[in-house]
Chain A
Amino acid sequence: MKPLPPTLRENRRYVLVRIEPPWFETDSRTLYGALAESVTALFGDTGMARIQPAVISASRGYAIVRCIRSTEDELLAGLAAVHHVGSQKVALRSVRTSGTLRALRSTIREGRFCPAMETGEARFGGKTYESVSYQLEKVDLFEKGFKSQEPLFLTAEDLEE
């Protein structure tokens, strides 16, 4: 079967998405599940068919999502409405929209989507927590022994007080 010539193919837009918190690891399939659920809840099945969202790649800290051209705003609304991926609370922040993957990949190379992270221990409110520090100021705390518990999001200055 001959492939469709480029002039007959539908134009697409690619959106670079930052995944917060950066220590959360996910795969394309899980992320697609969360995005599809969000887009379907907002725009219904016909909207989902019109937007045709797809997760091209997902890694620690970022993902690339695709949609049909002129449906970017609907995709961004769908991304903004995602608050959980699986059981983990997340935020999907759109960083850049482009017509080619190459432009987004160059943005990934320039940007700080996978910040260096340091793990350790920290005391806060009289309790000892496991801590993950990144981007100089940000510190996320996990209560020891309760990995499934929601983390606390603080800054280095908060821990010094």
Chain B
Amino acid sequence: MQCTDACVFPYPGGDSSLRRMALSARELGFDSIVAACPANGTYCGVEVIGMKVMGRTGAGAKEVSHAEPGQEGRAITVAHAGEYAANRALLRTGKIMVLRGIQWTPKNSFDHILSRMAAERGIAVDIDFSSLICERGSSRQRVIQRYADIVRLHRKFGFSLTLSSGARSVLGMRSPREMTVLGGLFGLEEDDTGRALGTVRQLLFPRSPVEVVE
């Protein structure tokens, strides 16, 4: 089974180098990580996949629809979720692979219509465990509520989920087993967690119908 941590922030965004994060990922049981840096390659036996961020956090719908991914090459194209119109524009462009940060958006910013659109266009929604781990009180309760909503929509409409530790340090990385028990807090079952850990691979190498080459 492919296991990918869908977002980590190595040095200088965090306090751990990319190699050290790859080493920790190997110890934790991942075979690849998506890193918020331009580097691609294999470190310590762990494949490092780059991440391209489209647009900026909180961008409006018009800005989003005209935005382009930053660079070419094999990488996961990510966009930060915003208000309903921005999310709809992002999903409609079809240029993104993963929608992140949905836990910080208003409750009505991702509904059944956008869920269906995400499922049809093969766009995944990210669940970031760092906001669950580091937040306390009402903001953590809000994160759990939002993730429970996302899981419920995921079950009904079948869009993909990705799981990320969102770690800025090796100490913030969590193993697949830890992600499973943390996912249980908002209703994500073990099978769903297993599938979500393999989503990044499916986004990079989508299954297509068999073509007969003569």
With A91-B171, A153-B169, A153-B170 in contact, do A73 and B16 touch (Cβ < 8 Å)?
no
With A89-B171, A152-B15 in contact, do A77 and B20 touch (Cβ < 8 Å)?
no
A150 to chain B, nearest CB (A): 6
Contact status A154-B133, CB under 8 Å: no
Give 8 nearest A-B pairs by CB, closest first: A153-B16, A80-B178, A91-B171, A77-B181, A155-B19, A76-B181, A158-B17, A154-B17
Interface residues of A in 55-86 (CB under 8 A from B): 73-74, 76-77, 79-81, 83
Question: Closest chain A residue to B179 by CB distance?
Answer: A80
Contacts of A91 on B, CB cut-off 8 Å? 170-173
Bound-state CA distance A89–B172 (Å) is 9
- Label chain A's interface by main secondary structure: mixed
- Label chain B's interface by main secondary structure: helix
Contact status A152-B173, CB under 8 Å: no
B69 to chain A, nearest CB (A): 29
Contact status B182-A94, CB under 8 Å: no
Question: Closest chain B residue to A81 by CB distance?
Answer: B133
Contacts of A151 on B, CB cut-off 8 Å? 15
Contacts of A83 on B, CB cut-off 8 Å? 133-134, 171-172
Contact status B181-A152, CB under 8 Å: no
A94 to chain B, nearest CB (A): 7
With A83-B133, A152-B15, A153-B20 in contact, do A77 and B182 touch (Cβ < 8 Å)?
yes
Per-residue CB proximity of A6-44 to B under 8 Å, as 1/0?
000000000000001100000000000000000001100
